[in-house]
Amino acid sequence: MTTVERAAASAATSGSPVLAVRDLSVSFRTESGTVSAVDRVSLDLAAGEIVGMVGESGCGKSVTAMSIAGLLPDSARVTGSVRLEGAELVDARESVLRRVRGKEIAYIFQEPMTSLNPVLTVGRQIGEVLQVHERMSRKAARARAVELLSLVGIPSAATRVDTYPHQLSGGMRQRVMIAMAVACGPKVLVADEPTTALDVTVQAGILQVLRDLRDRLGTTILVITHDLGVIADIADRVVVMYAGRVVERAPVIDLFAQPRHRYTAGLLAASPTPGRHAGTERLQEIPGLVPVLSAQPDACTFADRCPAADERCRQAVPPLDAVGAAVTDHLAACWHPCPAPRPQPQETTG
Partner 1 sequence: MTPQPNALELADLVMHFGPVRAVDGVSLTIPTGRVTALVGESGSGKSTVGRCVVRLEKPTAGTVRIAGTDVTGLTRRQLRRHRGDVSIVFQDPAGSLDPRMLVGEIVAEPLRLSGARLSRRDRATRVTEELGRVGLRAEVARRYPHELSGGQRQRVSIARALISEPKLLIADEPTSALDVSVQASVLNLLADLQRDIGFACLFITHDLSAVEYLADDIAVMYLGQLVEQGPRERIFARPAHPYTQALLAAAPVADPVRQRQRQPVLLGDDLPSALDPPSGCRFRTRCPLAFDRCATEVPAEVAFGGGMAACHLVQPDGTRPDVRAADPSEVLS
User: How many of the chain's residues bind partner 1 (CB under 8 A)?
Assistant: 54
Nearest distance in Å: CB 197, partner 1: 9
Site string for partner 1, 56-95 (x = CB under 8 A): xx--------------------------------------
Is residue 171 a contact residue for partner 1 (CB under 8 A)? yes
Q: What is the dihedral of CA 249, 250, 255, 259, to 10 degrees?
A: -50
Stretch that binds partner 1, among 28-36, 166-174, 315-323, 331-339 (CB under 8 A): 166-174
Nearest distance in Å: CB 132, partner 1: 28
Distance between terminal CA atoms of the chain? 34
Stretch that binds partner 1, among 142-150, 202-210, 307-315, 332-340 (CB under 8 A): 202-210
Nearer Cβ to partner 1, position 285 or 298? 285
Stretch that binds partner 1, among 25-33, 87-95, 176-184, 230-238 (CB under 8 A): 230-238
Is residue 28 a contact residue for partner 1 (CB under 8 A)? no
Count, residues in the chain: 350
H-helix segments, 248-304: 252-257, 262-270
Question: What single-letter amino acid sits at 82?
Answer: V
**CA 277 from centroid of its chain's CA atoms:** 30
Is residue 341 a contact residue for partner 1 (CB under 8 A)? no
Question: What single-letter amino acid sits at 89?
Answer: L
CB atoms within 10 A of CB 170: 16
Cα distances (angstroms) measured from residue 232 to each of 4, 251, 297: 11, 11, 32
Nearest distance in Å: CB 30, partner 1: 17
Is residue 216 a contact residue for partner 1 (CB under 8 A)? no
Is residue 342 a contact residue for partner 1 (CB under 8 A)? no
Nearer Cβ to partner 1, position 120 or 268? 268
Is residue 167 a contact residue for partner 1 (CB under 8 A)? no
Nearest distance in Å: CB 175, partner 1: 7
Is residue 274 a contact residue for partner 1 (CB under 8 A)? yes
Give Dmax (Cα) for the chain.
67
Phi, psi of 178 (to 5 degrees): -65, -40
Q: How far apart are CA 256 and CA 229, in angstroms?
A: 11
Nearer Cβ to partner 1, position 275 or 319? 275
Rounded to 10 deg, the angle between the 122-133 and 138-151 helix axes is 120
Nearer Cβ to partner 1, position 58 or 318? 58
Is residue 4 a contact residue for partner 1 (CB under 8 A)? yes
- Which of 77, 83, 276, 342 touches partner 1 (CB under 8 A)? 276
- Which of 136, 161, 252, 306 touches partner 1 (CB under 8 A)? 252
Burial of 75 (0-12, 13-18, 19+ CB in 10 A): exposed
Is residue 275 a contact residue for partner 1 (CB under 8 A)? yes
Q: Burial letters for 18-55: b for 16+ Cβ neighbours within 10 Å, e otherwise?
A: bbbbeebbbbbeeeeeebbbbbbbbbbbbbbbbbbbbb
Nearer Cβ to partner 1, position 43 or 290? 290
Cα Rg of the chain, angstroms: 21
- Which of 6, 83, 153, 297 touches partner 1 (CB under 8 A)? 153
- Which of 226, 304, 308, 342 touches partner 1 (CB under 8 A)? 226
Q: Within 13 Å and on the Cβ side, how many CA atoms surround 342?
A: 20
H-helix segments, the chain: 3-13, 61-68, 94-103, 112-115, 122-133, 138-151, 157-160, 170-181, 200-217, 228-234, 252-257, 262-270, 311-315, 345-348
Which positions touch partner 1 (CB under 8 A)? 2-4, 56-57, 153, 155, 169-172, 175, 199-205, 207-208, 226-233, 235, 252-253, 256-257, 266-268, 270-278, 282-286, 289-290, 345
